[in-house]
Amino acid sequence: MSAHVLIADEDGELAEAVAWYLRAEGLRVTVATGSGDALRVMTDDPPHAAVLDVAIAGADGFAQASRLYRGAIPLMVLTASQAELASVRPLGLGDEYAARPLGPLEVAARAKALLQRSGVLQEAPRGVPGLEVRLAERQVTYNGSAVPLSPREFDLLTFLMGQPGATLTRAQIADALWADDYYGDLRLVDWHVARLRRKLRQAGLRRCPIVTERGVGYAFQPES
């Protein structure tokens, strides 16, 4: 049975985008955009982990959420700003905290890492000996040595790795990496792929697992 994740966020568009990425990883996801819906999910179909937007619960939301979440499941808390984050962190409600602005790909990666750290979800073998990706720390190593990737290159690598063997179009990649901030030439995707490949080869990979599907896009091809 797939691990179940609850995304409780006032921003329904963001919540659905996060859900899309997690479902692509084979997880079962329930989206709640109101506190009542979130409470019903917790009671009727308890998740293995949850992402909770502070704003969804209202003024007394933390007291209510604390009774439901604390110690029961791994919890990621989202806040509207760094200032709000600083005020809620001492309450000790969550296992992971993040302040907006935050893209759906990063929220999904952090939620998945939370499941992995709790032991609910085991990291699937990637099929590239020596290549290790630490989602929570946003770090990549090859044979123990750090691979210096930019944030965008890290997101590109993890997005492709999350769907091994699947050919992803340039448009799909651009939407995942830039979302609504992307307005431009899709050749920018080619440029980022080229930089990522070069850094992986410089790190020592003789065979780069990111392959070009001519006329379509790119795929992550693990070694058989």
Instruction: List all residues 6 or more positions away from 172 whose beta carbon is below 8 Å from its beta carbon.
Output: 217
**Residues in the chain, how many?**
224
CB 77 within 8 A of CB 88: yes
Q: How much is the pTM?
A: 0.56
Coil vs helix vs strand at 82: helix
- pLDDT of the chain, 224 residues: tens digit per residue: 467 888 988 888 888 888 888 887 778 899 988 777 887 887 788 888 888 887 776 545 555 555 555 556 788 888 878 887 787 777 777 777 888 877 888 888 888 887 877 666 655 445 678 888 776 567 888 888 899 999 889 888 888 887 778 888 888 888 777 765 555 667 888 999 999 999 999 999 888 889 998 888 999 988 75
How many Cβ atoms from other residues are within 10 Å of residue 37's Cβ?
A: 15
Q: Which amino acid is at 27?
A: L
Q: If one looks up domain 131-220 in CATH, what number appears?
A: 1.10.10.10
Domain definitions of the chain by residue range: 4-118, 131-220
What span, in angstroms and rounded, lies between the C-alpha atoms of 165 and 158? Answer: 13
* Structural Rg of the chain based on CA atoms: 18
The yes-or-no answer to whether 4-118 and 131-220 have a common fold is no
Six-digit token string for 168: 């992803």
CB 122 within 8 A of CB 26: no
CB 134 within 8 A of CB 148: no
Domain 4-118: CATH class, spelled out: alpha beta
